[in-house]
């Protein structure tokens, strides 16, 4: 039974002791190998850049920042502390009944926690833009609630998988078509607590 995270030079990072324990108890894998795709420093710089772009565009505008549960929680928290002025926060949930990897199924939206957005400017924040179906449906649903404007921000975008016309207004990082976990993103419920974005080989042991 083993678990390791590699940096981009193939060196084993050994500081995830608690995660390693968790891996033993909750996952059926005999071996899990992860590679850091985006380090804490890279994520932090990317979010600095996103926050500057949002601030430049909004000027004095009041915002309703709407995060998409559950993958966006870290991004929402880190972005919020970099934004000034009047900001309300709300959350929505979206699930697309995925199987093991990234095959999207029927999209289910839950807007019950969305605050009143009528006549307000909304910044919709999600972890990753994959096919784009989730963001497209959410932008439409928030406009249907009477928002004055809806801009979309994602930490990651898989450029080769887009199935929709819409593109996010703000993108942190473009990534190849690989399955990533960490910094809020999960695989079967685990790994959201990793502070980096890691590439996980979901075929290993599953």
Active site positions, annotated: 130
Q: How many residues make up the chain in this entry?
A: 206
String of contacts with ligand 5GP for each residue 18-57, x by CB under 6 A = ----------------------------------------
Q: Which residues pair with 31 in a beta bridge?
A: 2
Which of the listed partners (ligand 5GP, Mg ion, none) does 104 bind, with a CB threshold of 5 to 8 Å by partner kind?
ligand 5GP
One of 38, 58, 117, 127 touching ligand 5GP (CB under 6 A): 127
How would you label 67-92 residue by residue, b for 16+ Cβ within 10 Å and e otherwise? bbbbbbbbbbebbeeebeeeeeebbb
**Does 182 participate in binding Mg ion (rule CB under 5 A)?**
no
Side-chain half-sphere exposure of 153, counting CA atoms within 13 A? 24
Considering only residues 58 through 97, tell me which ones interact with Mg ion, judged by CB under 5 A: 71
Whose Cβ is closer to ligand 5GP: residue 51's or residue 68's?
68
Q: Assess 179 for contact with ligand 5GP (CB under 6 A).
A: yes
Instruction: Provide the pairing of β-strand 149-158 with 12-13.
Output: unpaired
Q: What angle do CA 204, 155, 80 make, to 5 degrees?
A: 130
Q: Choose, by CB under 6 A, the member of 35, 78, 126, 196 that binds ligand 5GP.
A: 126
Shortest CB 79 distance to ligand 5GP, Å: 16
Q: Whole-angstrom Cα distance, residue 143 to residue 148? A: 7
Q: How far is the CB of 191 from ligand 5GP (least distance, A)?
A: 8
Q: Which helix or strand (DSSP H or E) is residue 36 part of?
A: strand 31-38
Binding region for ligand 5GP (CB under 6 A) out of 40-48, 145-153, 166-174, 184-192 = 184-192
Ranges of beta strands (E only) in 70-165 are 87-95, 108-110, 121-129, 149-158
Bin 154: left if φ > 0, else alpha if -120 < ψ < 50, else beta: beta
Nearest CB to Mg ion, comparing residues 71 and 132:
71
Give contact residues for Mg ion (rule: CB under 5 A). Answer: 71
Give contact residues for ligand 5GP (rule: CB under 6 A). Answer: 71, 96, 102, 104, 126-134, 179-181, 185-187
């Amino acid at each position: 039974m083993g678990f390791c995270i590699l940096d981009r030079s193939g060196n084993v990072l050994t500081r995830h002791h608690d995660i390693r324990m968790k891996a033993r108890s909750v996952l059926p894998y005999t071996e899990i190998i992860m590679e850091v795709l985006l380090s804490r420093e890279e994520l932090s710089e990317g979010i600095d850049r996103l926050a500057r772009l949002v601030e430049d565009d909004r000027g004095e505008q009041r915002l309703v920042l709407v995060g998409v549960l559950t993958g966006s929680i870290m991004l929402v928290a880190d972005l919020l502390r970099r934004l000034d002025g009047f900001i309300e926060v709300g959350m929505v949930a979206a699930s697309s009944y995925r199987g093991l990897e990234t095959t999207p199924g029927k999209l289910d939206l839950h807007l019950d926690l969305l605050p009143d957005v009528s006549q307000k400017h909304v910044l919709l924040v999600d972890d990753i833009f994959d096919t784009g179906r989730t963001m497209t449906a959410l932008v439409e649903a928030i406009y249907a609630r009477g928002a004055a404007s809806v801009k979309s921000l994602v930490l990651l975008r898989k450029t080769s998988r887009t199935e929709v016309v819409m593109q996010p207004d703000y993108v942190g990082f473009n990534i190849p078509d690989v399955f990533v976990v960490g910094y809020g993103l999960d695989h079967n419920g685990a790994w959201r607590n990793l502070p980096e974005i890691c590439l996980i080989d979901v075929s290993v042991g599953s």
